[in-house]
């Protein structure tokens, strides 16, 4: 939509329409809600002042970019938000030229902005283009932001950064004074006056410059922007993030400054939908719900793997005061909320700082504690160096509990938890194992607590796949698998973690009898059991919610190669070498051909 000639009244009406559209779709499809409702005026003002066709619009995480999608030709197809083959819940350049970059993980935006600003400078396009970055206050807890700001303050590339502060964290007295000062500082008159004064003072030598500088610094002391100003980045704020007139004026001023500027805007989460307004975490990301009441649609009664993890850890903590833990800004998502509430001195939410989470837990392990570092599979990627350098190199007994391992559904490519086995398996001293159901999860947690080396266990989003009818899980012992079903014939199904349930469901669809092995440990492997299986079964089928490249099948092939075994066929039903799209998990699995009925046909053809 071309907003250039629209009046403030028309823009305010547009904001109402945008919020209504977002509510209408998210209540049906699920998605991010409170933060994206709160960012509506900010995004409308961005599009009023800048041009997303040429100015890089960079949204941190980009879960708050729904208004941007609606303003850039996706109003009608917004009904397909987060659906298979529909609109992505995050920015995605393949979806629209107005989406500058793929984003799904936090705190990358300012680095992207600095890179874009460098390219614009190299191309000589500073008078035509300027990066516009929107970042939430939560994302400011990650170190990568300050690495980027550090360079930006030194290089002085033109850039406009909108800090969307929706936690109302600025106190009222300071906020009132700051708003008064910021209104003046943001005006074109003030900026012209400041430049003129600087030139005037320069004529009177170092003493006058020193006095002027001290006067300016004394003003900054009553603003929350001291940090940014000291880093060499102009600061304006806090400003009302829902006042379109003020936002547009400030953005116009920032655009003309031709230097890095941070605009600190305060917004209300859930703005326009009273039930969700405020700081309630449950409205950040939601499933389908009823708009009139705010009540969620009926959820599955099956116990989630995250719930099992919480129960197991609470049980272990009662008798072991050495157990500690951390999560990176996901206490409810990872099930640590109860632990943090019950043991506030032993469990911590360290904010969006996976690197810090891992390294701080390594130090606790060094001091004799037993840390559980509880992180989504996709987010552990951000702490990979710390896993290697600060944990495994020292052979420290940190447990990495990886939630949402496997396909996570509507969040798509940036959040699918498919790479952890591949990238962790390569690290010396690391042990990898996985439970298949509730009982085995408790046993796996008990093993992890006693294990004196780095280890990782993975578990899915939602409930484990059904394994009812299989023998009960036995105690976890290092590098020991469990043979669940044994039959004559060539066929062996090997399941890892949630893959056991998929293997079991597939086996029940076959006419032939199939032996079933719960691998349990992918590093180290149960070489004794595998040598026994080589003698009995010549066709192995691998089931695991992991990437095929470097995954469970690769580990088994490496074992066979080391053993010089050439007469065993290994067929892996893991994920192919691609980024997996968003959509309902079952629909995505069907597109990948890994539903039990599809796998049964593939297995029959190979058999």
Query: DSSP secondary-structure letter at 10?
Result: H
Q: Is 160 left (phi over 0), alpha (psi -120 to 50) or beta?
A: beta
Residue whose structure tokens are 């920032």:
254
* SS3 assignment, position 58: strand
Strand 482-485's sheet: what is its strand order?
482-485, 515-518, 491-495, 539-543, 569-572
Q: Is the peptide bond before 323 cis (omega within 30 degrees of 0)?
A: no
Q: Tell me, rounded to whole angstroms, the distance of Cα 121 from its chain centroid.
A: 31
Closest CA to 212 of 193, 239, 231, 233: 193
CA distance 257 to 158: 8
DSSP string, 48-100: HHS-TTTS-EEESSSTT-HHHHHHTT-TGGGGGTTSTTS--SS--TTT-TT--
Residue whose structure tokens are 């300012």:
110
**Is the distance from CB of 288 to CB of 410 less than 8 angstroms?**
no
Length, in residues, of the chain:
607
Q: Identify the H or E element spanning 47.
A: helix 40-49
CA distance 152 to 113: 9
Write out the two tokens for 469.
């009818």
Annotated binding residues for thiamine diphosphate: 63, 104-106, 138-139, 166, 273, 354
CA distance 83 to 72: 19
**Is the distance from CB of 550 to CB of 421 less than 8 angstroms?**
yes
Q: Is 237 left (phi over 0), alpha (psi -120 to 50) or beta?
A: left
Annotated binding residues: 63, 104-106, 137-139, 166, 273, 354
CA distance 88 to 90: 5
Single out the catalytic residue among 48, 74, 82, 354: 354
* SS3 assignment, position 296: strand
Is 299 labeled as catalytic in the residue annotation?
no
Is 354 labeled as catalytic in the residue annotation?
yes
CA distance 231 to 112: 18
Single out the catalytic residue among 92, 179, 382, 520: 382
**Is the distance from CB of 438 to CB of 470 less than 8 angstroms?**
no
Single out the catalytic residue among 69, 269, 370, 461: 269
CA distance 354 to 381: 9
Annotated binding residues for Mg(2+): 137, 166
**Is the distance from CB of 136 to CB of 162 less than 8 angstroms?**
no
Residue whose structure tokens are 């399941």:
495
Closest CA to 191 of 132, 257, 247: 257
User: How far apart are the two ends of the chain, measured CA to CA in Å?
Assistant: 57
The angle subtended at Cα 99 by Cα 161 and Cα 85, nearest 5°, is 140
Q: What sign does the dihedral 305-418-373-144 (CA atoms) show?
A: negative
Sort strands 455-458 and 515-518 into parallel, antiparallel or unpaired: unpaired
Question: How many C-beta neighbours within 10 Å does residue 581 have?
Answer: 17
- Enumerate the active-site residues: 269, 354, 382
């Amino acid at each position: 939509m071309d907003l250039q000639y629209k009046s403030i009244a028309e823009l305010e009406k547009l904001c109402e329409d945008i919020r209504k559209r977002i509510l209408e779709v998210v209540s049906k499809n699920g998605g991010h809600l409170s933060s994206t409702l709160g960012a509506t005026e900010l995004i409308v003002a961005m599009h009023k002042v800048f041009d997303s066709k040429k100015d890089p619009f960079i949204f941190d995480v980009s879960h708050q970019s729904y208004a941007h999608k609606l303003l850039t030709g996706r109003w009608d197809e917004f009904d397909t938000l987060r659906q298979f083959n529909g609109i992505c819940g995050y920015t995605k350049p393949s979806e629209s030229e107005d989406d500058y970059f793929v984003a799904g993980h936090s705190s990358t935006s300012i680095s992207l902005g600095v890179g874009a600003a460098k390219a614009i400078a190299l191309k000589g396009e500073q008078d035509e283009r300027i990066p516009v970055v929107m970042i939430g206050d939560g994302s400011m807890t990650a170190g990568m932001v300050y690495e980027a700001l550090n360079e930006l303050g030194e290089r002085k590339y033109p850039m406009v950064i909108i800090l969307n502060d929706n936690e109302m964290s600025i106190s009222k007295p300071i906020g009132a004074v700051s708003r008064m000062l910021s209104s003046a500082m943001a005006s074109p008159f003030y900026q012209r006056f400041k430049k003129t004064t600087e030139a005037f003072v320069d004529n009177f030598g170092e003493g006058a410059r020193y006095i002027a500088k001290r006067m300016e610094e004394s003003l900054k002391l009553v603003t929350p922007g001291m940090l940014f100003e000291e880093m060499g980045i102009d600061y304006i704020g806090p400003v009302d993030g829902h006042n379109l007139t003020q936002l547009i004026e400030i953005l116009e001023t920032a655009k003309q400054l031709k230097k890095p500027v941070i605009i600190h805007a305060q917004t209300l989460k859930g703005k326009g939908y009273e039930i969700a307004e405020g700081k309630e975490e449950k409205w950040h990301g939601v499933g389908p719900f009823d708009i009139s009441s705010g009540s969620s649609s009926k959820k599955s009664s099956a116990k989630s793997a995250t719930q099992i993890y919480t129960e197991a850890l609470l049980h272990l903590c009662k008798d072991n005061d050495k157990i500690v833990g951390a999560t990176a800004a996901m206490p409810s998502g990872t099930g640590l909320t109860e632990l943090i509430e019950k043991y506030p001195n032993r469990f911590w939410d360290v904010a969006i700082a996976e690197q810090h989470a891992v390294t701080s837990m390594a130090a606790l392990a060094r001091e004799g504690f037993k840390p559980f570092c509880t992180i989504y599979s996709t987010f552990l990627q951000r702490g990979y160096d710390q896993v290697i350098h600060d944990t495994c190199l020292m052979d420290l007994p940190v447990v990495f509990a990886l939630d949402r391992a496997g396909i996570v559904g509507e969040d798509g490519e940036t959040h699918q938890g498919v790479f952890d086995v591949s990238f962790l398996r390569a690290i010396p001293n690391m042990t990898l194992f996985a439970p298949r159901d509730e009982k085995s999860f408790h046993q796996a947690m008990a093993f992890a607590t006693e294990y004196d080396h780095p280890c990782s266990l993975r578990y899915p989003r939602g409930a484990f796949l059904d394994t009812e009818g299989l023998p009960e899980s036995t105690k976890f012992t290092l590098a020991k698998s469990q043979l669940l079903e044994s039959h004559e014939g060539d066929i062996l199904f090997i399941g890892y973690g949630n893959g056991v349930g998929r293997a079991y469901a597939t086996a029940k669809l076959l006419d032939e009898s199939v032996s079933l092995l719960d691998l349990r440990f992918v590093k180290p492997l149960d070489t004794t059991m595998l040598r026994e299986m080589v003698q009995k079964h010549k066709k192995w089928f691998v089931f695991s919610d992991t990437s095929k490249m470097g995954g469970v099948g690769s580990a088994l092939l490496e074992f066979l190669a080391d053993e010089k075994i050439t007469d065993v066929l290994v067929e892996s039903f893991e994920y192919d070498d691609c980024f997996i799209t968003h959509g309902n998990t079952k629909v995505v699995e069907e597109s990948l051909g890994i539903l039990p009925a599809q796998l049964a046909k593939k297995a029959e053809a190979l058999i």
